[in-house]
C-alpha cells in the first residue's frame, strides 16, 4: 500500500503522527523558503508543507519541481496549521514532509482540474479520465453508485430477485431500431442488443420468479437527440399476481425511499392524473407540477366574437404567467418570436395583461371587452399582475406548443427549483396511437400492454379511444418510469398483434416463443421500468444525464476518447460473413 491514510481523513486528532499519503498535485505555492502543495485524491485534499528550515535540501528541491497533476507519495508528520481552513475537512492540519517520491510525472492537462473548468464539452469528453478527476463528475458517479445500491437493497428487501437477462438476443422490427451483431457461428444471422428485457422478464413471470428486477444496460439505435445515449441503463421490474395498484404501490415506495434516503425529503402519497387530464391541463403527458400555470380552455368565452383566428380554431387555450403583466412590449414580442420558432411552430400569440388596477389590456382589444377578458382571467386563474398568453389552432399541436411555452417561462421565472421534488403518476394512457407516416396504429407503450377490460369493445370501433392499464411516474416534468399490466393469454396477445398490423406469420416468427409460453400457465403480471440515468440526474439536481455516465457518447454515437466506432479489418468481416456496403 502506497499510503497510510487517504487525503480526506487527517485532522487535529492525528497531530504528531507519522503518515504516508499519495495522490495528485492539485496546486503548489512556492514562497522561496516555503512550498505548499495541495495533495488530492478521491477522498479530499491535504496540504503538504516543505520548509527550507525543516525539510532536507534534496526533498525541498524536488518539491520545487512538482507540476500540476504529478502523482506523488510523501511521508511526513501531521502538524497543526497556522492558518486553519474551516471549509476543509483536513483544514486544521498540514503535513511537514520528510520524504517525497514522484510516482509519475504529468504533462500539462488540457483543461484545469477544478470544479469550474475551462474545458469545453468536446475536450472534456476526449480526456474524460481527466474530467472524472473533477469533483462535479466524480461526485456524480459516486452518487450514481449510491442510488444503485439503495435501489438494489430496497427491492431485494421487498423480495425481488435480480436476474440477468441476455444481451445477445433477437432482432424485432417493432419499436426503435435495434443494434445488431453478426454471428460468426451462424453465418448470415444476427443477434440484436435489447431495447429492454421486456419479453425475458415476462418469461421469468411465466417461470414463476414472481418478483424480478434488474439494473440493466439497454440499447437503441436512434438518431440521438440532445441528452440521449445509444446505450442507457434501466431499473427494470416485473411482478406476478398483481394489479396496477400493487405495482404503483411498490414503486411509489421505492421513489419515496430514494427521496428520503438520498435527499432527506419526506413525500406524501403521490398525486395521480389521467393522461387525458394531463394533456388538457398541461398539454403534456409528463407535466411538471412544481408550479401552476395550468391551461385554461377559452373556446366558450373566446369564440363568440368576430376574431376569425380563434373562431376557426379547434382549440383556444391560455395560461396565466405570474407577475408578468409588467413585461414590456419588447419582452412580449420576444416571447411571440419564441413560440413562432420552427421548434415550437405557433403562428402567433395573443396576450392580455391583467394590470394591478384590475383592468385588462390585450392584443385583441378590438374584439374583446373587459367582461370577455375577465372570463379569460377567471378560466386561466390569472390574478392582477399576471400576463395571460393564448394560443389557438389544432387541439393537439396547440397544447404541445403551449406546454413548451409554459416550461420555458417556468425556467425563466426560476420556478423549476431542482431541490423541489414533485412526483406524479400519470395513468390511463391510450393503448394505441396513430402514426401519420405509416398510417396505422402503433402501441403507445408496447404490444404487450393490456387494454382496460371495459374498453375492449372499442378496439374494433374506436381503437384510438381504448385505454391501457399503463402508468408513468413523472418527476419534475421528466418521465422517470413507466409500465403496464401485460397481456397474459395467447388469444388477447394474438388479437393485439393483429390490430398492430402483424400478419399471423410475422407475429409467430417474432414473438411465437412468448405466445407459446402463455399456453403453459402464465400468471397475470405487470411491471415497470425506470430510466436510471435520468432518475440519478434528477435526484442529483441536474437536468442533463451526461455527467452521471462515466464514459458517454456524443450525439453521433461516438466515444471520442477511445475513438469508437472504428473500422475493422477484412479478415474479421470475412469471418463474420459480411461485406461493407459503403459508397466510396
Residues 115-174, interacting with its own copies (CB under 8 A): 127-133, 138, 141-142, 144-145, 148-149, 152-153, 156, 161-171, 173
- The whole-angstrom separation of Cα 331 and Cα 561 is 43
Q: How far is the CB of 460 from its own copies (least distance, A)?
A: 24
Exposed, middle or buried: residue 168 (CB in 10 Å: 0-12, 13-18, 19+)? exposed
Question: Rounded to whole angstroms, how far apart are CA atoms 212 and 240?
Answer: 9
Residues 302-361 binding its own copies (CB under 8 A) are none
Nearer to its own copies, 129 or 434 (CB): 129
Looking at residues 463 to 502 of the shown chain, list those that interact with its own copies (rule: CB under 8 A): 488-489
Is residue 521 part of the contact set for its own copies (CB under 8 A)?
yes
- Cβ-based nearer residue to its own copies, 22 or 470: 22
Options 58, 118, 419, 569; binder of its own copies; rule CB under 8 A: 569
Show contacts with its own copies in window 360-419 (CB under 8 A): none
3-state secondary structure 278-337: HHHHHCCCCCCCCCCCCCEECHHHHCCCCCHHHHCCCEEEEEEECCCCCCCHHHHHHHHH
Segment interacting with its own copies (CB under 8 A) among 227-235, 305-313, 389-397, 455-463: 227-235
DSSP states along 38-90: EEEETTEEEEEEEETTTS-HHHHHHHTT--TT-EEEEEEEEEE-SS--TTSTT
Minimum Å gap between C-beta 572 and its own copies is 7
Shortest Å, Cβ 109 to its own copies = 6
Binding residue for its own copies, selected from 44, 136, 175, 182, defined by CB under 8 A: 182
Q: Which of 29, 184, 269, 440 binds its own copies (CB under 8 A)?
A: 184
Helix (H) or strand (E) holding 536: helix 532-539
The single residue listed with the C-alpha cell 383556444 is 316
- 176 part of the interface to its own copies, by CB under 8 A: no
The whole-angstrom separation of Cα 195 and Cα 197 is 7
Nearer to its own copies (CB atom), residue 295 or residue 530: 530
Q: What is the phi/psi pair of residue 320, to 5°?
A: -105, 120
Helix 244-263 / helix 532-539 crossing angle, nearest 10 deg: 40
How far apart, in whole angstroms, are the C-alpha atoms of residue 360 and residue 156? 58
Q: Which is nearer to its own copies, 1 or 86 (CB)?
A: 1
Contact between 48 and its own copies by CB under 8 A: the answer reads: no
Cα gap 328→307, rounded to integer Å: 24
577 touches its own copies by CB under 8 A: yes
Q: Which is nearer to its own copies, 411 or 570 (CB)?
A: 570
Q: Does 221 bind its own copies (CB under 8 A)?
A: yes
Nearest Cα to 443, choosing from 397, 496, 486? 496
Judged by beta carbon, residue 368 or residue 425, the one nearer its own copies is 425
CB atoms within 10 A of CB 43: 14
504 near its own copies, rule: CB under 8 A: no
| Burial state string for 49-88 with b = 16 or more CB within 10 A and e = fewer than 16 | bbeeeebeeebbebbeebeebbbbbbbbbbbebeeeeeeb
CA distance 357 to 359: 6
Number of residues that bind its own copies (CB under 8 A): 130
Where does this chain touch its own copies (CB under 8 A) — which range of 187-195, 260-268, 293-301, 468-476?
187-195
- Closest of 310, 353, 341 to residue 404, by C-alpha: 341
Among 291-299, 388-396, 443-451, 559-567, the segment contacting its own copies (CB under 8 A): 559-567
Smaller CB distance to its own copies: residue 364 or 561? 561
Q: CB–CB of 511/494 below 8 Å?
A: no
Q: CB of residue 106 vs its own copies: minimum separation in angstroms?
A: 3
Among 115, 246, 300, 334, binds its own copies (CB under 8 A): 246
- Among residues 198 and 284, whose Cβ is nearest to its own copies? 198
- Report the residue number, 7 or 388, with the smaller CB distance to its own copies: 7
Amino acid at each position: 500500500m502506497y499510503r497510510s491514510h487517504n487525503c480526506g481523513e487527517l485532522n487535529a486528532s492525528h497531530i504528531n503522527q507519522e503518515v504516508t499519503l499519495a495522490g495528485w498535485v492539485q496546486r503548489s505555492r512556492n514562497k522561496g523558503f516555503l512550498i505548499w502543495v495541495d495533495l488530492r485524491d478521491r477522498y479530499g485534499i491535504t496540504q503538504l508543507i516543505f520548509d527550507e528550515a525543516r525539510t532536507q535540501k534534496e526533498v525541498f528541491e524536488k518539491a520545487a519541481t512538482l507540476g500540476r497533476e504529478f502523482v506523488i507519495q510523501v511521508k511526513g508528520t501531521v502538524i497543526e496549521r497556522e492558518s486553519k481552513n474551516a471549509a476543509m475537512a483536513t483544514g486544521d492540519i498540514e503535513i511537514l514532509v520528510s520524504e517525497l517520491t514522484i510516482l509519475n510525472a504529468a504533462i500539462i492537462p488540457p483543461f484545469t482540474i477544478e470544479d469550474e473548468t475551462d474545458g469545453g464539452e468536446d475536450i472534456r469528453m476526449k480526456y474524460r479520465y481527466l474530467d472524472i478527476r473533477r469533483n462535479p463528475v466524480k461526485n456524480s458517479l459516486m452518487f450514481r453508485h449510491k442510488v444503485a445500491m439503495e435501489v438494489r437493497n430496497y427491492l431485494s428487501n421487498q423480495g425481488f430477485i435480480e436476474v440477468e437477462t441476455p444481451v445477445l438476443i433477437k432482432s424485432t422490427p417493432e419499436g426503435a431500431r435495434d443494434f445488431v451483431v453478426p454471428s460468426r457461428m451462424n453465418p448470415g444471422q444476427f443477434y440484436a442488443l435489447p431495447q429492454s428485457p421486456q419479453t425475458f422478464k415476462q418469461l421469468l413471470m411465466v417461470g414463476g420468479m414472481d418478483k424480478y428486477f434488474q439494473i440493466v444496460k439497454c440499447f437503441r439505435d436512434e438518431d440521438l437527440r440532445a441528452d440521449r445515449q445509444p446505450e442507457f441503463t434501466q431499473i427494470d421490474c416485473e411482478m406476478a399476481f398483481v394489479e396496477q395498484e400493487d405495482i404503483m404501490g411498490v414503486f411509489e415506495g421505492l421513489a419515496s425511499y430514494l427521496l428520503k434516503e438520498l435527499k432527506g425529503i419526506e413525500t406524501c402519497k403521490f398525486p395521480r392524473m389521467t393522461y387525458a387530464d394531463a394533456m388538457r391541463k398541461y398539454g403534456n403527458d409528463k407535466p411538471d407540477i412544481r408550479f401552476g400555470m395550468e391551461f385554461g380552455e377559452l373556446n366558450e368565452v373566446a369564440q363568440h366574437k368576430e376574431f376569425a383566428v380563434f373562431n376557426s380554431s379547434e382549440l383556444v387555450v391560455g395560461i396565466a404567467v405570474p407577475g408578468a403583466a409588467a413585461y414590456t412590449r419588447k419582452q412580449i414580442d420576444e416571447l411571440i418570436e419564441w413560440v413562432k420558432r420552427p421548434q415550437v411552430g405557433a403562428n402567433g400569440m395573443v396576450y392580455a395583461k391583467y394590470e394591478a388596477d384590475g383592468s385588462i389590456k390585450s392584443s385583441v382589444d378590438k374584439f374583446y371587452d373587459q367582461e370577455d377578458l375577465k372570463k379569460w382571467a377567471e378560466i386561466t386563474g390569472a390574478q392582477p399582475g399576471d400576463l395571460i398568453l393564448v394560443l389557438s389552432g389544432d387541439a393537439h399541436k396547440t397544447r404541445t406548443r403551449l406546454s413548451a411555452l409554459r416550461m420555458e417561462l417556468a425556467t425563466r421565472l426560476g420556478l423549476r427549483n431542482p431541490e423541489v421534488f414533485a412526483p406524479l403518476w400519470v395513468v390511463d394512457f391510450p393503448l394505441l396511437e396513430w402514426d401519420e407516416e405509416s398510417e396505422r396504429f402503433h402501441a403507445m407503450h408496447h404490444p404487450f400492454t393490456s387494454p382496460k377490460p371495459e374498453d375492449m369493445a372499442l378496439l374494433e370501433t374506436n381503437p384510438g379511444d381504448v385505454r391501457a392499464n399503463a402508468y408513468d411516474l413523472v418527476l419534475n416534468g421528466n418521465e422517470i418510469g413507466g409500465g403496464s399490466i401485460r397481456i397474459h393469454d395467447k388469444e388477447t396477445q394474438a388479437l393485439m398483434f393483429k390490430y398492430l398490423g402483424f400478419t399471423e406469420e410475422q407475429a409467430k416468427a417474432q414473438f411465437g416463443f412468448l405466445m407459446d409460453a402463455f399456453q403453459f400457465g402464465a400468471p397475470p403480471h405487470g411491471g415497470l421500468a425506470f430510466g436510471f440515468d435520468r432518475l440519478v440526474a434528477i435526484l442529483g439536481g441536474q437536468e442533463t444525464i451526461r455527467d452521471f455516465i462515466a464514459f458517454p457518447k456524443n450525439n453521433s454515437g461516438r466515444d471520442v476518447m477511445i475513438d469508437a466506432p472504428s473500422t475493422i479489418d477484412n479478415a474479421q468481416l470475412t469471418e463474420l460473413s459480411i461485406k461493407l456496403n459503403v459508397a466510396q
